[in-house]
Chains A and B, each alone.
Chain A
Amino acid sequence: MIYYAAVPLTLLVVILQVAAAPSFNLLGVHADLPVVWLCCWAAVRGWEESILLIPVAGLGLGLLGREPLGASLLALLPVLAIGWLEDGRTGRGRFLTTLLMVFVAGFLYAVIHAAASFVGGEGLGPPLNVLRVAPSAGMLDVLTAALWFWPIRLVFGRRSRGGVFRRT
């Protein structure tokens, strides 16, 4: 049931990303809210649930933002891979590993999004700009994730299954 609630929530995050996030600037960049949301969701609920949410967020950003459709979808795909790696290796719902996952995903999102937009016909200016922005964006995503993680885990986290042993 919660899984289905995630779809409209993802759309809401997309709208926030398009309409509100650019107003909140820090270090010259703004947070990638869909990246943070999807990473936290994958960390709390498992990577499988992000399979549907990633296209929803990616295509939503493509339709509402001023970018080639598909660029955001391509840029969000690392969330799926990183979520899968995190889920399998460190266990679900770890705060610090989620922050690390957000940083990597945020960094890759900035780079892949720029490259995909370029392929899609958007002018991007000097290529080094992307490398200058990507770490800052990743850091800001981590800060945002630090604020979002616990509420998401509290509201949407799965109850622990008694007797299940998980490798740490």
Chain B
Amino acid sequence: MSLSRPLTWTISLVVLAVVTLGLSRLGAVDPLQSAAERVFSPISSGTHAVFAPIADFVNNVGSYGDLRTENRDLRTENERLSGQVSQLREDQAQAAQVSDLNRSAQLFPNADFQTASVIARDPSNIRDAVLIDKGQNDNVRSGMVVVGREGSLIGTVSKSLATSAWVQLITDPDSDVNSEVQETRAMAITTGALGHKLQLQFVAEGTDVKAGDTVVTSGLGGNFPKSLLIGRVSKVEGGPTDLFKKIQVDPAVRPGTLENVLIMTSFIPVRAGTGQ
């Protein structure tokens, strides 16, 4: 076989390669490359789009075990992070509630408060009470007044244990609070009713009470400080011949949403003093 022919071709192609390499270095072939790019770009893109999923499958088919392990790890990580996110949200909500309570405490600059969390609810359908995580060890005594956001009345401590206490809510059917309608100064007694409701009783006929009026504690009897928000009148019923009007009140704080409360430790109610 003759050596000259392949050698000639090889040298020719080497020369061609070196020349184009030199031209490329000088930037002389850039327009040519741009033109080729423009012409072949759609074909290249189409080819890539066709082969990319195949390549993805081929590249990963050998690592099925790794993918399963990775998937399991990612699921575990996802569950852990979801838990953390949930915890952070919970912390944020708690912080917001504590902030609300602190604002409430500022409404009573001369009073001392103890913050507590609701840890249980009375399972009975005929009572309305919650268990808080502060008790006698925290100087929480029976009869102490419990308030919530914006200084609204929630209830009273009905039974104080060593590290916890039961709070009878104002919506408990056995609860009654001396109160008044803020707009008309009409005195009344707010009692709890089944279904977390409140009723305003003993409001004399002829007294101008209407829906939307604000009901606050009157301070009479010495069991509650004066002017604690109880709720707003939602419905007024009563005919001309009725002795008292039948008035429904929406509590300012919904018992079902209670999570944190403030115990007014500086106010000693009369019934606590008398041991009731």
Inter-chain contact B32/A20, CB cutoff 8 Å: no
Given contact pairs A15-B43, A23-B51, A64-B36, A84 touches B21 in the complex (Cβ within 8 A): no
Are A68 and B44 CB-contacts (below 8 A) given A24-B58, A81-B6? no
- Nearest CB of A to B205, in Å: 87
Query: Are B59 and A70 neighbours in the complex by a CB distance under 8 Å?
Result: no
Is A120 within 8 A of B51, CB to CB?
A: no
Residue A34 interfacial (CB < 8 Å)? no
Residues of B within 8 A of A74 (CB): 14, 17-18, 21
Q: When the two chains form their complex, are residues B44 and A71 in contact, meaning their CB atoms are under 8 A apart? A: no
Contact of B33 with A69 in the complex, beta carbons under 8 Å: yes
Q: B10–A20 contact, CB under 8 A?
A: no
| Residues of the A chain whose Cβ atoms lie less than 8 Å from the Cβ of B23 | 69-70
Complex: A81 Cα to B17 Cα, angstroms: 15
- A58, CB-defined interface residue at 8 Å: yes
State whether B25 touches A119 (Cβ < 8 A). yes
A54 cross-chain contacts in B, Cβ below 8 A? 13
- Is A51 interfacial (CB 8 A cutoff)? yes
- A69-B29 in contact (CB<8A): yes
DSSP majority for the B interface? helix
Interface centre among B19, B23, B36 (most CB of A within 10 A): B36
A81-B10 contact in complex given A19-B45, A69-B20, C-beta closer than 8 Å: yes
Please tell me if the beta carbons of B24 and A62 are within 8 angstroms of each other in the complex.
yes
Min CB gap B193→A, angstroms: 72
Beta-carbon nearest neighbor of B34 in chain A = A63
Fill in one digit per residue for B1-41: 1 if any A CB lies within 8 Å of its CB, else 0: 10000100110011011111111110001001100110010
The distance from the CB of A125 to the nearest CB of chain B, in whole angstroms, is 19
Interface residues of B in 63-81 (CB under 8 A from A): none
Within 8 A of B (CB), among A1-52: 15-16, 18-20, 23-25, 47, 51
Interface residue? A135 (CB, 8 A): no
Q: Are B24 and A19 in contact, CB atoms less than 8 angstroms apart?
A: no
* In contact, B47 and A80 (Cβ under 8 angstroms): no
Bound Cα distance from A68 to B28, whole angstroms:
11
Chain B min CB distance to A116 (Å):
6
| CA of A162 to CA of B54, assembled, Å | 43
CB of A55 closer than 8 Å to a CB of B = yes
> A15 contacts B33, CB within 8 Å?
no
Whether B55 sits at the interface, judged by CB under 8 Å, is yes
Which residue of B10, B24, B51, B52 is within 8 Å of A70 (Cβ)? Answer: B24
- B48: interface (CB < 8 Å): yes
Tell whether, in the assembled complex, residue A16 and residue B47 are in contact, meaning their CB atoms are under 8 Å apart: yes
Interface centre among A25, A54, A70 (most CB of B within 10 A): A70
- CA gap between A124 and B21 in the complex, in Å: 16
Residues of chain B within 8 A (CB-CB) of A121 are 24-25
Given the known inter-chain contacts A69-B21, A119-B25, please indicate yes or no for A15 contacting B40, CB distance below 8 A. yes
Chain A residue nearest to B27 (CB atoms) is A121
Interface residue A111 (Cβ < 8 Å from any Cβ of B): no
> What is the 8 Å Cβ interface bit string for chain A, positions 115-153, against chain B (1 contact, 0 not)?
010011100000000000000000000000000000000
Cα distance A70–B47 in the bound complex, in angstroms: 24
- The reply to whether A20 and B24 form a contact with Cβ atoms under 8 Å apart is no
Q: Is the CB of A47 within 8 A of B6?
A: yes
CA of A120 to CA of B16, assembled, Å:
14
| Contact present for A71 and B13 (CB under 8 Å) | no
Give Cα A23 to B33, complex, Å: 23
B24 touches A63 (CB 8 A): no
Contact B55 A77 (CB under 8 A): no
Which residue of B has the minimal Cβ distance to A117? B21
Q: Return 11 A-B CB contacts under 8 Å, by A number.
A: A19-B47, A20-B48, A23-B48, A23-B55, A58-B13, A62-B24, A63-B32, A69-B21, A74-B17, A77-B13, A121-B24
Closest 7 CB pairs of A and B: A70-B20, A23-B55, A70-B21, A20-B51, A63-B36, A74-B17, A19-B47
